Structure formats: C-alpha cells, structure tokens
Amino acid sequence: MAILPLALAGVRFVRAGETLLGPLDLELGACGTSVVIGPNGAGKSLLLRLCHGLLAPSAGRVRWCGADAGSAAQRQAMVFQQPVVLRRSVLANVDYALALRGLPRRERQRRAAEALALAGLEALARRPAHVLSGGERQRLALARVWALRPEVLFLDEPTASLDPAATAAVEALIGRFRQAGTVVVMTTHDLGQARRLADEVLFLYRGQVRERAPAAAFFAAPACAEARAFVRGELLW
C-alpha cells in the first residue's frame, strides 16, 4: 500500500495579490530522487511546503493518489534548511517524533537506537541537542525522520549552511533513504549536489516548472534557455 503518487492539479500560491507559484500541474513520486533547482525566489521551498501540506494552495489541489492516501500525513516527513531541534536530549528528540505517531515505548526505543546508529550519533544520544554542531543537528533531523520510516521525504536545502564534510555525511544519509526505497523530493542551490543525487531534475523559474527531465539528460543539455544559463552558472533572477 502506498500514498504515492502525489498529484498537483492547477495549484497556485498567491500572497498579497502576487502569484508566487503556479499554476502547476505535476505528478511526483515515480522515481527515486527528484531535485528541484532554480534561482532564489523561484518558489522551490514553497513547492515543498505545499506538497507536504504545511501550506494550503490558493487554488487547485494537492492530492495523494495512492491506495493508502488516507494515512498520507503519517507517511511523509520533511527536513528543513535550518534543522529544528527541541531543547532536550538527542535521543529524546527522536523519541518525541515517534511518540507523536503513537508508537509503543519498546518500538520507539528500538527505532530511535537504530536511527541514531545510522546517523553516527549514538555516542551523543544523551547530549542536549542544543549543543550539537550544525552538521550534527542536521544528521539528528535526518535520524528523526528515518525513525518515522516515511514513504516520501521532503528536503529543503538540507546542506545549505554546512561545510563539505558535514555535507558529505548528510548526502550519505540521503543515500540510505534512497536505498530503503524512500522517495526523496529535495531542493538545493548546489548544482554539484544535484548532479550527485538527482534521478530527475525539476527546473523552477519564477513560479513555473520550466523544465523537467532525467538528471543525465538535463545536465547534458538543458532544453530551455534559462536552465542552460542557470547550469552554466550565470546569474539568473
């Protein structure tokens, strides 16, 4: 049973009379990792928030089409650019998310231990989460959603403020989600990261999906002029 695919039909997002995103007609979830790229203000974060249900579209519909769509909220997770941790221990941060799902204590302990081990945080389990470094926090955020076993994972620029070593650790974790069969939808500013992780690329420009293609094809020869300029590293806004 699955909640995917995710269909956006005529989705628009308007704020203060200005259309920031859309109209979009889009289906997501057919392939492993979809990477959304585009300049600042293109609507990348907005798109993720609409998909995840944190924002409601001004028009149109965001719909989970799978047989299990009723439990969609429980089967997806999101990690933000600024990892948000609660003022409690590393372990308790993971446990909190599991408790919200109503899992029994035994199961919570098992999953939390497994997730922290995966993220290389077992040694820090009893530390207050607030003393962690930026990279460790992001790994904790990923461990927390790993424990939830989502079918779909949204990542909003997960390595935007991290150094190369921390970025590598986070990308390795994202790889584990892919191996586990989780569909990943992520945004990034880092074209190198997009090349490393993407199965398909969505190029977003001024609130519109201007191009969508398998990663290899996209990076070999972007079809639209803006995407070509963007990939070449020209400043686009």
Partner 1 sequence: MTDLSTAFATALRLITTLDAALVEIVTLSLRVSFGAVLVACVLGLPLGAALALARFPGRQALVVLGNALMGLPPVVAGLVVYLLLSRAGPLGEFGLLFTPSAMVIAQVVLITPIIAALARQVVEDLWASLGEQLRSLGAGPWRAVPTLLWEGRFSLVTVVLAGFGRSIAEVGAVIIVGGNIAHVTRTMTTAIALETSRGDLPLALGLGFVLMLLAVLVNGAAYWIRDFARARGG
Residues that bind partner 1 (CB under 8 A): 49, 52, 54, 73-74, 77-78, 80, 84, 86-88, 96-97, 100-101, 128, 130-131, 144, 148
Closest C-alpha among 176, 137, 180, 129 to residue 160: 137
Report d(CA 43, CA 49) in Å as an integer: 10
Burial class (CB in 10 A: 0-12, 13-18, 19+), 64: buried
E strand or H helix at 219:
helix 215-220
In angstroms, give the least distance from the CB of 148 to partner 1. 8
Q: Which is nearer to partner 1, 157 or 200 (CB)?
A: 157
Closest approach, Cβ 223 to partner 1, in A, equals 34
Nearest Cα neighbor of 153 from 128, 133, 129, 175 is 175
To partner 1, the closest distance from the beta carbon of 78 in angstroms equals 5
Distance between CA 62 and CA 13 in Å, rounded? Answer: 12
Q: CB nearer to partner 1: give 88 or 176.
A: 88
- Give the span between the Cα atoms of 13 and 50, in whole angstroms: 9
Q: Is 57 helix (H, G, I), strand (E, B) or coil?
A: coil
Question: 87 or 106: whose CB is closer to partner 1?
Answer: 87
Residue closer to partner 1 by CB (options 11, 155) is 155
Q: How far is the CB of 126 from partner 1 (least distance, A)?
A: 12
Q: Write the DSSP assignment of 64-121 as a string of letters.
A: E-STTGGGGGGGEEEE-SS----SSBHHHHHHHHHHHTT--HHHHHHHHHHHHHHTT-
Residue nearer to partner 1 on the CB measure, 23 or 128: 128
Residue number with CB closer to partner 1 (97 or 174)? 97
Least CB distance to partner 1 at residue 51 (A): 12
Minimum Å gap between C-beta 41 and partner 1 is 19
